[in-house]
Structure 1
């Protein structure tokens, strides 16, 4: 009897799931976008409201239910201070928000998921100690006191949800790629060789990312086999002074079954101050990536999305994953080499074409354009990082982050745009 009953129940459950998917995969009403996320105040620091925002550092779509998304915060509200940063809420936990576009076309929050260490305790966004992914930053409290480090701390910048409901998150410390359960509990932490976390590793050279400019974007290929991450800016290889090719950054892939990694070169349009941010997959080889600067769109900022293709690009990993300076050309690192030298060596970067310029297309006014999700049909969902509604007013003192065009506090907003 049990042998007959179990398949019947399984069939009923599958049918229920398929019926739900049919409902959820009807056309979604995006006509009410752009739309801000609903916010409350987290805290008031020096008379300035810190909002329960920050969602938009990275974004991903639900693997089966159309119109549902996940967005993630970074390490928490902070301001620059001395040789590090002030954490305005030191015990803040990087958080995933699950939401949907409901039948009325409005954003409806479904769940908040706080990230946790392997023991199930909430982590913080505080820097890692030396040997565990340290950026060299010192964390300070609002009063200027030095804060402790966190072995499991994360400056989360991107998020992927797998078919089984678990999450992959990349960050700007290690850089780490961390696998979390559906409840946000750490399962595995993948870091560069030489960083003391986990057994599976990324190439050692990735640890030479610039502080606060680590693995800013990450996505999963549609076949579910590979993670694809973008380093935000030119890495300091071999050193900050010698890394002179400020338009060169790297894309890294990680095969989830074998642990094999590959690296590809990406040529930025801008210079050292520009960023390659989130990435989203169109196919197993074609992707969309963000390029942006730090200015507000209404003040001449650059906010663009490019189509790129890994097909035909050179794998520049080299034969020695432990080499801290990576592959070299004529005894020079890639970051020391000019594009002419790289081309002469027969190394090709990924191809790229402009998909959309958000400033000219929709008058995008935010400064931090950091999350994208490809919706199919040449439609793209985009998200901004609002920095919890605060910025630095000098010497670590917070002030409200105001959009210069509207005079309003910057808040996380979802848009949908057509791309080329």
Structure 2
């Protein structure tokens, strides 16, 4: 989730840039990303997959709250935002920034820090929601969930609440994986930290910092200079197919690294430490950001890359296949376009009239592999600020499935 200031600016940009951006978005190889997406003419270099197809659409209304939950949004003022006036009567079921596939048609989704930054999210309780999309009636049911807590007092710095329920002023959680023992590892942007929780959302280990990298919100700076921009920590995190490693991916460039490059580190689940191995993902533009990452096999990952615009102004909302074997020898992961989310075929009119479907949200932060040719993709609706679907109306949480033009040849362990 971006800060409130950025979100408001993005909404204004959508109104002023709509016409030219729509034309650019119609062609997935327009602009600076063409080289990354197209066949570069080298023997064996993978070409872009071609147009993907929308196969499922479901939505959870923006104004969905956890039943019986505490009010929230008290630091947002009282001016209406997209027609909704804060504070809110409960905890919004929103901001989906990570997804776990359960294998029974249901999913667990992670809400991020709340309302966009540390200062305004102290009354937002960090939570994992259990949801089930129904593509027949195009709805998403909320089946339950759990809050994230620290009852064992493993966090070494002061928390917002005395009951040690974690809030959006404590951590900005943006990525989640479930490991073979049923516990969860969650990536945070404020440290950035890795956080380990049990099946009930209770912290199991002290936060694990990324050596040598600190964001401005890091509570342990102690006067040191941060070397990562605000809200640019662990936006994506993949679980290795071997079940032994995590691959957290930063959203921003570490100071001193080439502009527009992002570090992907390897974390050993057995030793609870970083291995020292690291790869580089290069954004098509330094103005872009990543939204999520998931493993396809031992060497390849799906990565969502996006611009910061929404609605008709959105030009880049893409899913890339990123290969760490670096066949072209440029020192970065090789990228192949597998799905342009602004140019999905919708011949059956699953989301309206038949034609081309656009997923035009500012932040798209969830991808999961359902089978070798099908992906689940969800937006982070930044409630109540983003209005990429309809101007003046807060975005819903949309859940789509996308069939790729050809198979990923994924390792079967990805879907376990």
Shorter-chain TM-score: what band?
Answer: 0.5 to 0.7
Q: In the alignment, is residue 66 of structure 1 matched against residue 104 of structure 2?
A: yes
Provide the residue aligned with 2:57 in structure 1.
Answer: 33
Match of 1:368 among 358, 363, 366: 363
CA positional deviation for 1:31:
6.1
Alignment partners' CA distance in 1, 2:106 and 2:226? 34
> SS at 2:204's partner residue?
strand
Provide the residue aligned with 1:92 in structure 2.
Answer: 124
Structure number, greater radius of gyration: 1
Higher relative contact order (CA 8 A, sep 6+): 2
Alignment partners' CA distance in 2, 1:247 and 1:78? 22
Alignment partners' CA distance in 1, 2:366 and 2:255? 25
Provide the residue aligned with 1:203 in structure 2.
Answer: none
> SS at 1:235's partner residue?
coil
Q: Scaled by the length of structure 1, what TM-score is found?
A: 0.65
Alignment partners' CA distance in 2, 1:266 and 1:103? 34
Match of 1:109 among 142, 151, 158: 142
Alignment partners' CA distance in 1, 2:372 and 2:125? 36
CA positional deviation for 1:194:
6.8
CA positional deviation for 1:109:
1.8
* 8 A Cα contact 1:101 1:107, kept in partner: yes
Match of 2:264 among 231, 251, 254: 251
Alignment partners' CA distance in 1, 2:326 and 2:313? 37
Provide the residue aligned with 1:137 in structure 2.
Answer: none
Change (3 A) 1:59 1:312: same
* 8 A Cα contact 1:55 1:97, kept in partner: no
Provide the residue aligned with 2:341 in structure 1.
Answer: 358
- Residue pairs, 1:196-215, within 5 angstroms: 208-215=227-234
Provide the residue aligned with 1:387 in structure 2.
Answer: 382
Provide the residue aligned with 1:349 in structure 2.
Answer: 332
Q: Scaled by the length of structure 2, what TM-score is found?
A: 0.65
Provide the residue aligned with 2:310 in structure 1.
Answer: 296
Alignment partners' CA distance in 2, 1:290 and 1:418? 16
> SS at 1:298's partner residue?
helix
5+ long unaligned stretches in structure 1: 1-29, 80-84, 127-152, 197-205, 238-242, 314-342, 391-400
Alignment partners' CA distance in 2, 1:37 and 1:309? 36
Q: Deviations over 1:344-393 (max 9, x none)?
A: xx762111100111012231121111111111222111111111213xxx
Alignment partners' CA distance in 2, 1:359 and 1:175? 31
Q: Is 91-100 or 253-262 further displaced after alignment?
A: 253-262
5+ long unaligned stretches in structure 2: 1-53, 66-70, 80-84, 154-163, 215-224, 345-356, 406-416
Alignment partners' CA distance in 1, 2:326 and 2:382? 38
Change (3 A) 1:263 1:207: farther
